[in-house]
Amino acid sequence: MSAASTAREEMLRRIRAALSDVPTGEQPEEVVVARDYRHSEAVNHEEVVERFAERVAEYKVDVQRVEEAALAQAVAATCASHSVRRLVIPVDIPEFWLLPDVEPLRDENTLTYEQLDTSDGVLTGCALGIAQTGTIILDGGRHQGRRVITLLPDYHLCVVYEDQIVNLVPEAIARLDDAVHHYRRPVTFISGPSATSDIELNRVEGVHGPRTLNVLVVRRASRSHP
Amino acid sequence: MSVIIPPPQRRKPLPTFQASAKEALADTQLRRNLYKATHTIRAKRAQVVGEMPDWQELREAGRALKERVLRHLDTYLLQLEEAVQRAGGQVHWARDAQEANAIVTQIVTEHEAREVIKVKSLTTDEIHLNQALATHGISAVETDLAELIIQLAGESSSHILVPAIHKNRSEIRELFLRTLEVDNLTDNPRELANAARLHLRRKFLSTPVAISGANFAVAETGTVCVVESEGNGRMCVTLPRVLISVMGIEKVIPAWQDLEVFLQLLPRSSTGERMNPYTSLWTGVREGDGPQEFHLVLLDNGRTRVLADTVGRQTLNCIRCSACLNICPVYERVGGHAYNSVYPGPIGAILTPQLLGVENASSLPYASSLCGACYEVCPVKINIPEVLLYLRGRVVDYKQHHNALLNRVNPESVAMKLMARTFASRQLYEQAQKMAQLGQLPFRHGGVIDTLPGPLGRWTAMRDLSPVPRQSFRDWWRARQTTREGMNEATHQPSAETGKEGQL
């Protein structure tokens, strides 16, 4: 028997010996887990969206609410105000999100770390938003690209559609079930720009991840682009 | 059972907490730094926990989930192994620190890496991975700001979450000026953080192997989770070609859904935020996105011994939030180094003696006033005072068992035995009371006993003792009965004198 399989077998033997007080035949589900915490709240969606915008802003993030028709304008204006010219975008970002005055760097998994590091910023959509915690969730799905593109550029502009926002953490976890179970997608929770509290527990925004995060909360036009 | 689970190794016992605490207490700068930090974080935690109407329900769910995992740990680890392998990762099992370090070293060596980047991980601190890698000529670069600070300073961590909590901004500025290639630097935390950003940027972009710990690993899906703030964690789990995660076996959780509990409990308890800036969750490897080789190392290193103890088992619920450190009146004054372990504070006082064996850390269960604040804030309801008391019992048992002869003449144990006999007999007890009333007279000053002779003086060195009252409750009761019988008229009140002095 190899050393590796010996270690595995011995650890399992130790664990089983340690658990001699657990009745044989007890199933894990027999250990009762009461999930009496909130899974939803009776609030209307406009309130949820408003709370999301507020809580994201509390992380010192610039949040704007815009109509879908004005999205490109908002993207252009926000980029201009942060002197962002060369903007990294995932390949599937719709044309109507952009105006000609930003220079898109489309990532088809082709941009090097160097190119990403020296770009001015990145524009993505997201998978979900959580109002309760002011969190944006990326899962590598539509309009998001691979993980590295939202990590190396110093500026991240994220588009969150109102109908992507859920109220509570459990609602978000439930909605991600398929992405993880089925597609094994990597998931990233983002709550504000990178930060540290390592010096005297004072929060300082901006360490290794993007130092600036901007969020556009978009109301979908009624005859919508899907 | 003892045959299967090896007893703790004999080692040089840790320095005692009491001796180390004395040194720490003498450092006034340290006490100022700690006071400020712990009080800041306490207030933040209280605020974000206060806004959760279902906090107690979340705590209970977190506790119950951990109980479920621990009672069926073999099942969940096998499930996790299968899920990680299915998703393209490799799983390794390590019985102890040496085995884990050897596994990691081999993987790094196979990739011919001379340098690795690391995400802050208590588990790798516990097994001294950096030192083990160094003996093979591999340097491990810590990327968390606080870990970097203590690595540059050549010190050890003093807090689970903020390893450099004992240092203030001007101390950090001086350190950076000395060790990083920077010229102009103020002690503004923003500038200090930026200096670390510049220092580490190249390494993030070019280092081929990263090492992390794991906050949670989901058995059902094989998903591993790292919770962080700075983005150094995302860098490490995203940029290098190879990722190695070392996790204690107790970090497995049953299902994806269970993250809805832990991702609420951890950030609020830990940094006092509604959510920490970044949480990374990855499932094996993904083509074209992130590391193309993933290794998960499952570590025992004493954990099965903790698991075997039905009282101590709950210690493995710990999600390393550090709320118990921040609230602890003892930690607040002595800091983390006094505990002589990577796991300081109340959780360390119960975890370290169990991992190393009580004989190797016998002073730690006494590093507490048993006030219970740690239990109250614990997000997974570890009854720390209960385990502390239980471990004190084990320390006493050990001493009695191993120093039988010495113990029979040990004054404390002799005194305890005498006391037990006295308290068990009414006659002896009343006699002792009378003796104490007389015997205390030379030590009574201004209504209190403020100095006792000999070894008893260690009590009065720290606090005054209430004297035995002139009239005990028993005397008063007897006198009252007699008066009643005599005059058939009760005196309801004890005398002003005895009423002021106390009871018994």
Q: In angstroms, what separates the C-alpha of A77 from chain B's closest C-alpha?
A: 26
Question: CB-CB: which of B192, B279, B283 is closest to A189?
Answer: B279
CB atoms within 10 A of CB B495: 13
Residues B317/B382, Cβ–Cβ less than 8 Å: yes
Locate the chain A residue with the closest alpha carbon to B44.
A201
Spatial separation of the C-alpha atoms in residues B164 and B159, rounded to whole Å = 7
- Which positions 35-54 of A are in contact with B (Cβ < 8 Å)? 35-38
Q: Cβ-count burial of B25 within 10 angstroms (0-12 exposed, 13-18 middle, 19+ buried)?
A: middle
Concatenated DSSP letters of B409-436: T-HHHHHHHHHHHHHH-HHHHHHHHHHH
Question: CB-CB: which of B229, B305, B307 is closest to A195?
Answer: B229
Residues B156-184: what's their mean pLDDT?
88
Which of B167, B92, B102 is CA-nearest to residue B128?
Answer: B102
Residues A134/A192, Cβ–Cβ less than 8 Å: yes
Are the Cβ atoms of A180 and B223 closer than 8 angstroms? yes
Query: Which tokens in the block code for residue B271?
Result: 């940094």
Spatial separation of the C-alpha atoms in residues B272 and B111, rounded to whole Å = 39
CA distances to B152, B270, B340, B477 from B344, rounded to whole Å, are: 21, 15, 7, 50
Digit-coded pLDDT (tens) for A114-165: 999 999 999 999 999 999 999 999 999 999 999 999 999 999 999 999 999 9
Pick the residue with more confidence: B504 or B273?
Answer: B273
Digit-coded pLDDT (tens) for B43-90: 999 999 999 999 999 999 999 999 999 999 999 999 999 999 999 999
Question: CB-CB: which of B68, B149, B230 is closest to A207?
Answer: B230
Spatial separation of the C-alpha atoms in residues B420 and B306, rounded to whole Å = 32
Question: CB-CB: which of A147, A169, A170 is closest to B290?
Answer: A147
Determine the 3-state secondary structure of A90 from DSSP: strand
Are the Cβ atoms of B278 and A10 closer than 8 angstroms? no
Query: Which tokens in the block code for residue B117?
Result: 């980047």
Which of B36, B63, B231, B348 is CA-nearest to residue A209?
Answer: B231
Q: Which residues contact B504 (CB under 8 A, 6 or more apart)?
A: B433, B468, B469, B472, B473, B474
Pairing of β B242-248 and β B252-253: unpaired
Across chain B, how many H-helices and E-strands are there? 24, 12
Amino acid at A69: A
**% pLDDT > 90, chain B:** 68
CA distances to A56, A98, A116, A224, B265 from A76, rounded to whole Å, are: 21, 7, 20, 21, 39
Q: Does B60 touch chain A (CB under 8 A)?
A: yes
What is the predicted pLDDT for the residue at A1? 56
What is the predicted pLDDT for the residue at A200? 80
Residues B250-275: what's their mean pLDDT?
97
Question: Does the ipTM surpass 0.85?
Answer: yes
Query: Which tokens in the block code for residue A175?
Result: 């909605």
Give chain B's end-to-end CA distance (angstroms, integer).
48
Query: Which tokens in the block code for residue B334?
Result: 């002595």
Spatial separation of the C-alpha atoms in residues B5 and A10, rounded to whole Å = 9
Supply φ then ψ for residue B140, to 5 degrees. -100, 120
HSE value, Cβ hemisphere, 13 Å, CA-based, for B13: 12
Q: Which residues of A touch B238 (CB under 8 A)?
A: 147-148, 151
Q: Does B329 touch chain A (CB under 8 A)?
A: no
What is the predicted pLDDT for the residue at A206? 85
Strand partners, B47: none
Digit-coded pLDDT (tens) for B11-27: 888 889 999 999 999 98
HSE value, Cβ hemisphere, 13 Å, CA-based, for A176: 34
**Helix boundaries (H) for B111-211:** 122-126, 129-134, 145-153, 169-179, 189-206
Highest mean pLDDT: which range of A7-11, B24-28, B164-168, B199-203: A7-11
What is the predicted pLDDT for the residue at A102? 86
Residues B246/B286, Cβ–Cβ less than 8 Å: no
What is the predicted pLDDT for the residue at B372? 96
Q: Does the pLDDT value for residue A2 go beyond 80?
A: no
CA dihedral B281, B313, B42, B44 (to 10 degrees): 30
Query: Which tokens in the block code for residue B160?
Result: 């689970």
- Strands annotated E in B44-106: 90-94
Spatial separation of the C-alpha atoms in residues B152 and B322, rounded to whole Å = 23
Are the Cβ atoms of A198 and B144 closer than 8 angstroms? yes
What is the predicted pLDDT for the residue at B438? 86
Determine the 3-state secondary structure of A178 from DSSP: helix
Residues B85/B91, Cβ–Cβ less than 8 Å: yes
DSSP state of B52: -
Digit-coded pLDDT (tens) for A65-87: 999 999 999 999 999 999 999 99
For tokens 């550029």, name the residue: A153
For tokens 């090896």, name the residue: B6
What is the predicted pLDDT for the residue at B407? 62
Determine the 3-state secondary structure of A58 from DSSP: coil
Confidence of residue B30 (pLDDT cuts 50, 70, 90): confident
- Which positions 185-204 of A are in contact with B (Cβ < 8 Å)? 185-202, 204
Q: Does the pLDDT value for residue B3 go beyond 70?
A: no
- Strands annotated E in chain A: 62-67, 86-90, 103-107, 121-124, 128-130, 135-138, 155-161, 165-166, 187-190, 195-196, 204-205, 212-219
**Helix boundaries (H) for A127-188:** 169-181
Q: In angstroms, what separates the C-alpha of A72 from chain B's closest C-alpha?
A: 27
Picking from B2, B4, B34 by the largest number of A CB atoms within 10 A of its own CB, the best residue to mutate is B4
Q: In angstroms, what separates the C-alpha of B194 from chain A's closest C-alpha?
A: 6
Digit-coded pLDDT (tens) for A16-64: 999 999 999 999 999 999 999 999 999 999 999 999 999 999 999 999 9
Q: Does the pLDDT value for residue B118 go beyond 90?
A: yes
**Helix boundaries (H) for chain A:** 3-18, 45-57, 71-81, 113-118, 169-181
Query: Which tokens in the block code for residue B416?
Result: 């305890």
- Which positions 261-280 of B are in contact with A (Cβ < 8 Å)? 261, 263-264, 271, 273-280
Signed CA dihedral, B446, B450, B451, B452: sign only: positive
| Count, residues in chain B | 504
Digit-coded pLDDT (tens) for B441-461: 888 888 888 888 888 888 888
What is the predicted pLDDT for the residue at B499? 44
Question: CB-CB: which of A189, A194, A209 is closest to B275?
Answer: A189
Residues A128/A175, Cβ–Cβ less than 8 Å: yes
Spatial separation of the C-alpha atoms in residues A226 and B148, rounded to whole Å = 46
Are the Cβ atoms of A114 and B204 closer than 8 angstroms? no
CA distances to A91, A99, A149, B225, B453 from A189, rounded to whole Å, are: 22, 28, 15, 11, 62
Are the Cβ atoms of B73 and A36 closer than 8 angstroms? no
Residues B381/B63, Cβ–Cβ less than 8 Å: yes
What region does B406 belong to: left with phi over 0, alpha with psi -120 to 50, or beta? Answer: alpha
HSE value, Cβ hemisphere, 13 Å, CA-based, for A28: 17
Question: CB-CB: which of B36, B230, B288 is closest to A146?
Answer: B288
Spatial separation of the C-alpha atoms in residues A54 and B46, rounded to whole Å = 21
Which of B89, B281, B283 is CA-nearest to residue A181?
Answer: B283
Confidence of residue B401 (pLDDT cuts 50, 70, 90): confident
CA dihedral B161, B278, B317, A200 (to 10 degrees): 20
Q: Which residues contact A33 (CB under 8 A, 6 or more apart)?
A: B61, B64, B65, B68
Digit-coded pLDDT (tens) for B322-368: 999 999 999 999 999 999 999 999 999 999 999 999 999 999 999 99
